[in-house]
């Protein structure tokens, strides 16, 4: 049975169609990547299955059942950066998170060890690097020992060392038997940490399957990956051209 399956999920924001009949099926134990450029609908998809957003049409099942609150409580999520208190220690912040979520505080040392922050548990959150902050956010998602984790762009904004640590942590969580569903706009990231992938573009699923089948074999799926990457490169070129124009304007002598 699939951990999560969606049936023709669609979502409109006014006239913007963010998702168009999206079907995904996440097998137990997978690290399932939702891969697509910015604005392709990844956050919307995760928001719907976590019941933060309502679908315009379609449905989804968690472990074959229509989601209920109890079930969702057993899923660890990192959809946006949690609000930790800057001047409190990491440990104290997790105590607060645990009491809000109704988890026992006995779990805190365990999750701090998993994310490799146990030694730094007494330090104020504000002294943490961005990578450590993100690992603390994952620690918070791990409270209550959920079997499933849902992570939206878990390495966004981190430096290369921070990215490597989070990727390593995801591999480690996978090895410990967790099912992980993660959104990413980085092909390389999905290749490196995911077992399965759905490629989504402008709300439409372009390809789904194991990373090996979708990203490594020649065939129609690969052509679509190339198309999407090419589109992203074009966006990047446009952004660079835009920046150059801004620079030119700035460097022009001021008109007096
Ligand atoms: P991604 O996570 O892949 O960057 P999103 O799910 O955030 O994509 O967005 C998908 C599309 O829906 C985009 O076109 C975005 O502009 C639009 N969108 C997202 N949230 C809203 C909202 N609250 N209101 C209107 N449009 C939205």
Kindly report, residue by residue over 119-143, the tens digit of the pLDDT. 999 999 999 999 999 999 999 999 9
The pTM (predicted TM-score) of the whole model is 0.87
Final residue of a domain: which of 146, 164, 186? 146
Say whether 182 sits in a helix, a strand or coil. Answer: strand
pLDDT at site 219: 66
Of ligand 1's listed atoms, the one at least distance from the Cα of 44 is 6
Report yes or no on 16 lying in a domain.
yes
User: 28 lies in a domain?
Assistant: yes
Ligand 1 pocket, residue 44 CB under 6 Å: yes
Q: Could you tell me the residue range of the domain that residue 97 belongs to?
A: 83-146
Of 104, 181, 182, 172, which Cα lies nearest the Cα of 148?
181
Phi, psi angles (nearest 5°) of residue 157: 80, 5
Identify whether 256 is part of a domain: no
Could you tell which of 9, 24, 41, 42 is best to mutate to test the pocket of ligand 1, judged by most ligand atoms within 8 Å of the CB? 41
CA–centroid distance, 134 to ligand 1, in Å, is 23
Kindly state whether residue 177 falls inside one of the protein's structural domains: yes
pLDDT surpassing 60 at residue 95: yes
> What would the two tokens of residue 111 be?
């999750």
- The predicted structure's pLDDT at residue 255: 56
Q: How would you classify the pairing of strands 31-35 and 57-62? A: unpaired
Q: What tokens does 26 get?
A: 């996440």
Q: Considering the domain boundaries, does residue 169 fall inside one?
A: yes
Q: Give yes or no for residue 237 having a pLDDT over 90.
A: no
**Per-residue pLDDT, 250:** 67
Same domain, 188 and 211: yes
Dihedral pair phi/psi, residue 206, rounded to 5°: -100, -30
Say what percent of the chain tops pLDDT 90.
Answer: 69
Question: Does residue 47's CB lie within 6 angstroms of at least one atom of ligand 1?
Answer: no
For residues 18 and 132, membership in a common domain is answered with no
For residue 237, being part of any structural domain is answered with yes
Determine whether the shortest distance from the Cβ of 28 to ligand 1 is under 6 A. Answer: no
Residue 3: predicted pLDDT? 94
Q: Is 36 in the pocket of ligand 1 (CB under 6 A)?
A: yes
Which pLDDT score is estimated for 222?
Answer: 66
Are 242 and 160 in the same domain?
A: yes
Gap between the Cα atoms of 58 and 56, Å rounded: 7
CATH number for the domain that contains residue 42: 3.40.50.300
Instruction: For residue 20, give the H/E element and its range.
Output: strand 16-22
Last residue of a domain, one of 146, 161, 189: 146
Q: Are residues 113 and 93 in the same domain?
A: yes
Same-domain pairing of 241 and 190: yes
Same domain? 141 vs 226: no
- Residue 39 near ligand 1, beta carbon < 6 Å: yes
Categorize the per-residue pLDDT at 84 as very low, low, confident or very high, splitting at 50, 70 and 90. Answer: very high
Q: How many CA atoms lie within 13 A of 30 on its CB side?
A: 24
Q: Kindly give, in sequence order, each residue whose CB lies less than 8 Å from that of residue 74, ignoring residues fewer than 6 positions away.
A: 144, 146, 147, 148
Task: Work out which ligand 1 atom sits closest to the CA atom of 203.
Answer: 10
Overall domain count for the chain: 2
């Amino acid at each position: 049975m699939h951990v999560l399956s969606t049936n023709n999920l669609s979502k409109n924001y006014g006239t913007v169609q963010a998702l168009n009949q999206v079907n995904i099926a996440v097998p137990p134990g997978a690290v399932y990547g939702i891969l697509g450029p910015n604005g392709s609908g990844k956050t919307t998809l995760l928001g719907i299955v976590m019941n933060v957003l309502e679908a315009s049409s379609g449905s989804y099942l968690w472990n074959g059942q229509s989601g209920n609150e109890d079930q969702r409580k057993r899923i660890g999520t990192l959809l946006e950066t949690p609000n930790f208190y800057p001047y409190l220690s990491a440990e104290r912040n997790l105590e607060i998170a645990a009491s809000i979520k109704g988890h026992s505080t006995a779990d805190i040392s365990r999750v701090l060890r998993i994310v490799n922050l146990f030694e730094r548990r007494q330090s104020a959150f504000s002294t943490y690097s961005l990578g450590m902050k993100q690992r603390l956010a994952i620690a918070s998602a791990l409270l209550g020992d959920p079997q499933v984790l849902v992570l939206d762009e878990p390495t966004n904004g981190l430096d290369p060392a921070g990215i490597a640590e989070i990727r390593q942590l995801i591999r480690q969580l996978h090895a410990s038997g967790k099912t992980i569903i993660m959104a990413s706009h980085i092909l390389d990231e999905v290749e490196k940490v995911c077992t399965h992938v759905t490629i989504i573009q402008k709300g439409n699923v372009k390809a789904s399957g194991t990373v090996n089948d979708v990203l490594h074999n020649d065939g129609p799926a690969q052509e679509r990956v190339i198309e999407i990457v090419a589109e992203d490169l074009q966006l990047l070129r446009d952004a660079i051209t835009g920046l150059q124009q801004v620079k030119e304007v700035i460097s022009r002598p001021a008109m007096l």
